[in-house]
Amino acid sequence: MMVGNSLKPDILPALRAGGWAVFVPRELTWDYERAEIPSNSPRFIQLPCIRQLSDLVAERLSH
């Protein structure tokens, strides 16, 4: 599972490799890092803040 705040260098490569990706956006984003959010991927999750990551991992591990 990749957790990152940048779509281009963090999230999209992880999804292309077949992994799960958790996107935690930040307020400021460099133009280089901008990309479309991959809303059609079942392995993509977006969280509003990093503090929610531990709950997400606990939930996924309990299944």
**Span 9-40, pLDDT tens digits:** 999 999 999 999 999 998 887 788 888 888 88
Q: What is the pLDDT of residue 4?
A: 95
Q: What is the pLDDT of residue 42?
A: 94
Q: What is the pLDDT of residue 24?
A: 96
Q: Burial level of 29, CB count in 10 A (0-12/13-18/19+)?
A: middle
Q: Burial level of 18, CB count in 10 A (0-12/13-18/19+)?
A: exposed
The bridge status of strand 2-4 relative to strand 44-46 is unpaired
Q: How many CB atoms lie within 10 A of CB 54?
A: 9
Q: What is the pLDDT of residue 44?
A: 97
Q: Which two tokens stand for residue 2?
A: 């990749």
Contact by Cβ (8 Å): 5, 24: yes
pLDDT greater than 90 at residue 63? no
Q: What is the pLDDT of residue 30?
A: 79
